Amino acid sequence: MKKLAAACMVGMVVAFANAQESDTSWKPLFNGEDLTGWVSTGEPDAWGVENGEIVTVKPGTGGWLRTDRMFRDFELTIDFFMPEGGNSGLGLRGSSGGDPAFTGFEIQMLDTYGEEPGLRNCGSVYEAVAPARMSVNKPGEWNTYRVMLTGDTLNVWLNGEPIHIDTKLDDRGFFRSEENPLPLNTRATTGYIAVQDHGHAFRYRNIKIRDLSVDPEPAGMVQLAPGNIDGWFSRDAGEWTFENGAIVGRNGPGHLFTEKSYTDFELRALVKVNTHGNSGLYFRTVPSEQEGFPWPTGYEAQVDQHDPKNYTGCIYDRAWPESNSGPITQDNAWFDYRIRAEGDHIRTWINGVPFVDTELTNFSEGHFALQSHHPGNEIMYKDVRVLELE
């Protein structure tokens, strides 16, 4: 039986490798020559390419090396070479600001050969879920992760052995200690793929992806708040700051506007509101000219988990989903918002789920604006990105 099981496992691995070679939906994330498509959060020269491998040139100074595009659902493979005592990680659905291990989550890379599975050992969803088995090779050898992530379900194989099978991204997880809960189901639902420089000489190769998202992110999206809120202006009440990679609005009512105006576009952002929070992502809008009346003139993509009519994903008082089934988001949890405006054709999606698909003829051009609705309100927007359409 053991020989049969081993033969079956080898057959599965070979079949998977052959499928990768023949399936044109697989794309390289690393071209084997340079770091095109990757962004360092540390020193610019901390990462390099040698012999077709990504290497930590100056260990301890690189932070994270992440993709320049976001991914929600995908299948991914990556080989990693770990030195003795090595520590690194594979960041999934992380944000451009903050620690990807906690804005999204991290699949641990750690020299724990021969140890028992644990919340921080190799193969774990770091500080959240232990792997089913310890499948990491001895230090000084190559390892291979295969990851499939769809919605709230995670599957991971390490060196061909299943270590997470239909693992749910649920209420497990904490930040540094169990006294600081940080549930997986409150973290970003889309984000960057990254590898970590923890001060050890790791090497990475054969990084490939099959994007399974229903709405893959198009190339060429531009960050509207790349590290600060320069290029934005505020009106009326509301306190606006930039904290841990997020635009944060408190109290209100007030709005934060882009200085630039837009006509046709695709806009994507990660959004979170506090308990009974209320916000809106305005587009083709202009500030109010009426004294004492803070509400802009334009379209508002609503952010509200409690309004039975104008809930998250609706265009406030103008357009709703045909099913009108209510919000799929929750307070104090990140979700990704997508808005596309092409002429009079307006569409919205939440976490890739279509909401509004309508024709609106009221406004053709204007600013983007973020809303802080009332006293006690707190809203956060991360990785606000736009692609202008011709």
Q: What is the domain partition of the chain in residue ranges?
A: 2-211, 222-388
CB 334 within 8 Å of CB 351:
no
Q: What is the pLDDT of residues 84-135, one digit of tens each?
A: 999 999 999 999 999 999 999 999 999 999 999 999 999 999 999 999 999 9
pLDDT digits (tens, 9 = 90+) for 277-304: 999 999 999 999 888 889 999 999 999 9
Backbone angles phi, psi at 219, to 5 degrees: -70, 150
pTM of this structure = 0.92
pLDDT over 70 (residue 212) = yes
What is the percent of the chain with per-residue pLDDT over 90, rounded to a whole number? 91
Structure confidence at residue 142 as a pLDDT band (50, 70, 90)? very high
DSSP designation for 137: P
The whole-number pLDDT of residue 2 equals 39
DSSP string, 201-252: --EEEEEEEEE--SSPPPTT-EESSSSS-TTEEEEES-EEEEETTEEEEESS
> What is the pLDDT at residue 12?
45
Pairing of strands 366-372, 279-286: antiparallel
The domains spanning 2-211 and 222-388 adopt the same CATH topology: yes
Residue 143's closest CA among 131, 130, 155, 157? 157
Q: Are 278 and 304 in contact (CB under 8 A)?
A: yes
Q: How far apart are CA 7 and CA 5, in angstroms?
A: 5
What integer is the mean pLDDT of 194-204?
96
The pLDDT value given to residue 17: 46
Structural domain 222-388, CATH architecture? Sandwich (2.60)
* 16 has a pLDDT exceeding 60: no
What is the C-alpha to C-alpha distance for residues 229 and 197, in angstroms, rounded to an integer? 28
CA dist., res. 265 & res. 17, Å (int): 39
Spell out the CATH class of 2-211. Answer: mainly beta
Rounded average pLDDT over 17-46? 84
